[in-house]
Structure 1
Amino acid sequence: MVISCCHVQCAIRQGCKPNLAFYRVPFDADRRWRWIAAINRKDWQPSKYSRICNEHFLRGKKSDDPLSPDYVPSVFAHMKTPEKRRAQKSLEKYEVREAMRKRKSQESSKTKAARALLDLSAEKNGPVLAEAENEATVSDKGTNSKCDAMCQTDLTSEDIESLQYECQQLRGETFTLKEKLKSSDLPEQGSFENNDKLKTLTGLHLFSV
């Protein structure tokens, strides 16, 4: 049996052109009624063999999204020009909403993935990060107390800034060395030297505060 479109003004039949698709009229009562109204055949009820071709849908295929204009066939020869324009505008608005929804969904997925990585990193490197935060807090306090330090010691502002810069450099080196030590069996000798130097400079800086 050759499948043909059930719309009276449509001559599309199976095999007459490539990329054709035929859709059964839905069984859902509300959607079925809307399809019958759109097909617009007088005193007609679809049978189990009734099909409508994909050329009666704006995108060339039906959609199961109730918000989509292609949830119901809407492209027919008997449609007036204003109706066709309204249908096309409806499709354009739907596509914009879909693009925004997909973009938000992608951004949400990226945010969740980033949070998961941060949580995993915090769980793995918690002690190291806490130590780094404590050192940063000490550094901030020292910066805020620069004027007091100048009054209490013989160091000049240039000396204090130089010491602060060197301390920051050594903190960065120490943090890097700690990360390397996690994957090695024996500590590197340079790490102890840097740590001793850091303690000396940090103690001098704290004393100045």
Structure 2
Amino acid sequence: MVKSCCAVGCTARFRKGSGLSFYRFPDDTTLERLWKAALSRKDWEPTPHSYVCSHHFVTGRRSFDPTHPDYVPTIFSNSTPFAQEKIAKSMDRYNNVQERRGKREESMKRRVAASALMVLTHLEDDVEEVYDETCTSVACQTELTMKDINIVSMCERFSI
């Protein structure tokens, strides 16, 4: 069976090497309802052979991130210029948020790495003191605070 787009007015069909992608309807019922609403087809139910082509996504491909504008197809031939402008703005907003999130995460990594270095230095000093005092003891006790433990767990989270 030939893949063709089920959007109203779209005549896109699969051709090898065309660079056009086709996406099946999602298995998630809530997301499927959103896709059906976006297509605006009355009394229509998608089948396992129903596809939406990449022309209907802002970036040209589907996203699995619910905050991304391409989580649901949005570009259609019957879209108004106002709707298309709104879609472009939502893509800009998404990119700005992702950029800020990346900067925030980098800053967090740097702070965690600096704190981890301090904690590890503190731990090494404690272990040396305990080893010097009790060479025969296998167990040792440190003065780790909850803050130190959280820093160590953050190091594991960021693979530092």
Q: Normalized against structure 2, the TM-score is what? A: 0.72
Equivalent residues in 2 for 1:156-167, closer than 5 Å: none
Q: After TM superposition, give the deviation of residue 27 of structure 1 in Å.
A: 2.4
Aligned residue in 1 for 2:42: 42
| Paired AA for residue 56 in structure 1 | H
| Paired AA for residue 10 in structure 2 | C
Aligned residue in 1 for 2:69: 69
In the alignment, structure 2 segments of 5+ residues that lack a partner are 127-160
Q: Say yes or no: does 1:79 pair with 2:53.
A: no
| Paired AA for residue 84 in structure 2 | K
- The answer to which structure has the higher helix fraction is 1
Q: After TM superposition, give the deviation of residue 119 of structure 1 in Å.
A: 1.6
Identity of aligned residues (%): 36
SS at match of 1:73: coil
Q: After TM superposition, give the deviation of residue 7 of structure 1 in Å.
A: 1.2
Q: After TM superposition, give the deviation of residue 71 of structure 1 in Å.
A: 1.0
- C-alpha distance in 2, partners of 1:109/1:18? 42
RMSD: 1.9
| Paired AA for residue 18 in structure 2 | P
| Paired AA for residue 2 in structure 1 | V
SS at match of 2:52: strand
Deviations 1:144-194 (A, max 9, x none): xxxxxxxxxxxxxxxxxxxxxxxxxxxxxxxxxxxxxxxxxxxxxxxxxxx
| Paired AA for residue 55 in structure 1 | H
SS at match of 1:118: helix
Aligned residue in 2 for 1:32: 32
- C-alpha distance in 1, partners of 2:123/2:44? 67
Q: Normalized against structure 1, the TM-score is what? A: 0.56
| Paired AA for residue 75 in structure 1 | I
Looking at both structures, which has the greater relative contact order when contacts are Cα pairs under 8 Å and sequence separation is at least 6?
2
Aligned residue in 1 for 2:89: 89
Deviations 1:58-79 (A, max 9, x none): 1111111211111110011110
Q: After TM superposition, give the deviation of residue 17 of structure 1 in Å.
A: 5.3
SS at match of 1:82: helix
- C-alpha distance in 2, partners of 1:18/1:40? 27
Aligned residue in 1 for 2:151: none
C-alpha spacing 1:36/1:18, structure 2 compared with 1 (3 Å): same
In the alignment, structure 1 segments of 5+ residues that lack a partner are 127-209
Q: How many residues align?
A: 127
Aligned residue in 1 for 2:21: 21
- C-alpha distance in 1, partners of 2:105/2:15? 40
- C-alpha distance in 2, partners of 1:125/1:66? 47
User: Which has the higher Rg, Structure 1 or Structure 2?
Assistant: 1
C-alpha spacing 1:17/1:79, structure 2 compared with 1 (3 Å): farther
SS at match of 2:123: helix
- C-alpha distance in 2, partners of 1:112/1:15? 50
- C-alpha distance in 1, partners of 2:62/2:72? 7
Aligned residue in 2 for 1:8: 8
